[in-house]
Amino acid sequence: MSAAVTTAEAEVFDVIVIGGGPAGYPAAIRAAQNKLKAACIDEWKNFDGSYAFGGTCLNAGCIPSKALLESSELYHRAREEFAVHGIKASGIELDLAAMQKRRASIVKMMTGGITALLKANGVKAYQGHGRLLAADQVELTGPDGAKTVLKTKHVILASGSVPVQLKSVPHDGKFIVDSWNALEFDAVPQRLGVIGAGVIGLELGSVWRRLGSTVTVLEATDQFLPMADQAVAREAQHHFKKLGLDIKLGAKVSSAAVSGGAVSVSYADAQGEHQLTVDKLVVAVGRRPFTEGLIAAGVGVALDARGFIAVDEHCRSSVPNVWAVGDVVRGPMLAHKGKEEGVMVADLIAGLYGEVNYKTIPSVIYTAPEIAWVGLTEEQVKASGRAYKVGSFPFTASGRARAMEASIGFTKLIAAVDDDEILGVHIIGPMAGELIGEAVLAMEYSASTEDIQRTIHAHPTLSEGLHEAALAADKRAIDAINR
């Protein structure tokens, strides 16, 4: 078929989802589970030219980064921490090619799994570009350029986000790169520069530092991890410094240029102008919503001032029957947030109940120590003026953490004085991302501090930290001194 020919399909879908990332594919699956005729269109192409469902998260984000974080942490522990367990290990060597092969095979397995899930649920999966022509029409451009108009009753836009680029630091894909390139380096850069000490900067900086790079992170703001509870941020900063991440705060980058196989970065901070030379420079200064080529002119889907598709609390756009979910709409850019929005919308379309509790979305930074939180930080609670109490329990007092040789960090719980409501839980330490689930559930069920105090936690486990932090909030901790 010639690229100029446009055909129209006779079948009418109930729901077409544009975007097959962690917001889009769950929406399509739930729609099909709700007995709706559903399709999912995705255009993601990997560096080798292959199409894959799963979006940023599976192909270039959550999954590959966690694979490398795990591998690099094991390498680091084998070299630095085995001895204390009485394990003599010699000749430990890095085989980066094997590590990267493992990362790629996990990604392939997981993205293949999405294709299988779509099929098993009866979702029609299309690879190619989707464009909203009208509230009930989507134009599909297939890999061969052929255009087909698909008819539908509802459309869910789930086109995700792309990395922000700095005009003064033009990417070349080889020396000045984004996070996707930085996950696929085939050699450990001797000197790595990272612009942005956000989640990506810290996770990828940790990976390459553990594998041997000298890592310098240039962060524009003066405050480290401003979105986190500041007691956690201080603890994290201390341990990242010990790992050897050189994090420079208040560093304003003015330019970067490649010459002679290296990158020269100019930046200024309170001490004056500086020059930094690195072998690779990763730009990780945030992501922006991706809507290019998504909506035909005149459809009327409104964007907000920052370029996100404007939606209400139920992810309805400004056009009836057009919905938007995930990174392309307001709220934290997190896979699990997008997933819940996608599921909510698919349920609402089917006439079922659907809600996302934006107050209990957990955040996790998969560094070592790991950082996780849900709810308000102490700074936010203080600013709200509500009287509060804090309970904290250090992992140094946890038998399990000691046994794991992982006794860094603490669990901190913040609760209201008036009704004992849990307002926030912040964990820095081993398996924080797993441990936060209990706090999310507690807050979702409106549990009080006393409820956690009266819940039996297995001994010895890391989860006892939350139990003891809840007790500590009322100065009744058993396994630590109450302050």
Q: Give the one residue of 94, 133, 146, 220 binding ligand NAD; rule: CB under 6 A.
A: 220
In angstroms, give the least distance from the CB of 14 to ligand FAD: 19
Distance in angstroms (rounded) separating the CA atoms of residues 248 and 255: 16
Angle at 107 between CA 104 and CA 113, to 5 degrees: 140
Among 40, 118, 130, 205, binds ligand FAD (CB under 6 A): 130
Shortest separation between residue 469's beta carbon and ligand FAD, angstroms:
24
Cis amide linkage into residue 369, ω under 30° from 0: yes
SS3 of residue 256 by DSSP: strand
Distance, in Å, from the CA atom of 430 to the CA atom of 417, rounded to the nearest integer, reads 29
166 lines the binding site for ligand NAD (CB under 6 A) = yes
Minimum CB–partner distance for residue 355 and ligand NAD (Å):
22
3-state secondary structure at position 280 = strand
Q: Phi/psi of residue 134, each to 5°?
A: -160, 170
**Which member of 314, 426, 459, 467 is catalytic?**
459
> Which stretch, 5-13, 274-282, 358-366, 463-471, contacts ligand NAD (CB under 6 A)?
358-366
Alpha helices in 184-267 (DSSP H): 199-210, 230-243
Does residue 53 contact residue 108 with C-beta atoms inside 8 Å? Answer: no
Backbone angles phi, psi at 37, to 5 degrees: -80, 110
Contact predicate 310/304, CB 8 Å: yes
> Inter-axis angle of helices 335-349 and 24-33, to 10 degrees?
30
Does 341 bind ligand NAD (CB under 6 A)? Our answer is no
Q: How far is the CB of 203 from ligand NAD (least distance, A)?
A: 6
Is 336 in the active site? no
**Two structure tokens written together for 114:** 């999405």
Query: Among ligand FAD, ligand NAD, none, what does residue 19 contact (CB within 5–8 Å per kind)?
Result: ligand FAD
If one asks whether residue 111 binds ligand FAD (CB under 6 A), the answer comes out as no
Cross-strand bridge partners of residue 177: 282
Q: Are 5 and 318 in contact (CB under 8 A)?
A: no
9 to 38, contacts with ligand FAD by CB under 6 A? 18-24
Q: Which does 57 bind (CB under 5 to 8 A by kind): ligand FAD, ligand NAD, none?
A: ligand FAD
Could you tell me which of 383, 363, 389 has the C-alpha nearest to residue 375? 363
Say how far apart CA 150 and CA 138 lie, in whole Å: 5
Of 289 and 465, CB closest to ligand NAD: 289
Candidates 19, 55, 130, 198: give the one binding ligand NAD (CB under 6 A): 198
205 binds ligand FAD (CB under 6 A): no
Residues with Cβ within 8 Å of residue 202, at least 6 apart in sequence? 217, 240, 245, 365, 367
Nearer to ligand FAD, 176 or 470 (CB): 176
- 17 vs 470, beta carbon nearer ligand FAD: 17
Q: Which residues in 319-378 contact ligand FAD (CB under 6 A)?
A: 326-327, 333-336, 338, 366
Q: How far apart are CA 16 and CA 193, in angstroms?
A: 41
23 touches which of ligand FAD, ligand NAD, none (CB within 5 to 8 A by kind)?
ligand FAD
Per CB under 6 A, which of residues 7..36 are in contact with ligand NAD? Answer: none
Nearest distance in Å: CB 91, ligand FAD: 32
| Minimum CB distance to ligand FAD smaller for 265 or for 372 | 372
Binding of ligand NAD by 228 (CB under 6 A): no
Among 157, 284, 431, 473, binds ligand NAD (CB under 6 A): 284
- How many whole angstroms separate alpha carbon 467 and alpha carbon 459? 11
Phi-psi bin for 47: left (phi > 0), alpha (psi -120 to 50), beta? alpha
Please report, for residues 42, 124, 180, 328, the alpha-carbon distance to residue 1 in angstroms, rounded to integers and kept in the order given: 21, 21, 34, 33
245 binds, among ligand NAD, ligand FAD, none (CB under 5 to 8 A by kind): none
Minimum distance from residue 26 beta carbon to ligand NAD (Å): 17
Nearest distance, CB of residue 178 and ligand NAD, angstroms? 9
CB nearer to ligand FAD: give 334 or 343. Answer: 334
Q: Is 426 helix (H, G, I), strand (E, B) or coil?
A: strand
- Which region among 7-15, 76-84, 286-294, 466-474 touches ligand FAD (by CB under 6 A)? 286-294
Q: Assess contact for 333 and 200: CB atoms under 8 A.
A: no
Look-up of token digits 């992982």: 406
Q: 26 is in the binding site of which of ligand NAD, ligand FAD, none (Cβ under 5 to 8 A by kind)?
A: none
Beta bridge partners of 20: none
Dist CA 481 CA 391 (whole Å)? 11
Least distance (Å) between residue 139 CB and ligand NAD:
29
Note whether 290 binds ligand FAD by CB under 6 A.
Answer: yes
Site size toward ligand NAD, by CB under 6 A: 24
List residues binding ligand NAD (CB under 6 A): 166, 195-201, 203, 218-221, 253, 284-287, 332-334, 364-366
List residues binding ligand FAD (CB under 6 A): 18-24, 41-44, 55-57, 60-62, 65, 129-130, 158-161, 179, 200, 290, 293-294, 326-327, 333-336, 338, 366
Q: Which residues does the annotation mark as catalytic? A: 459
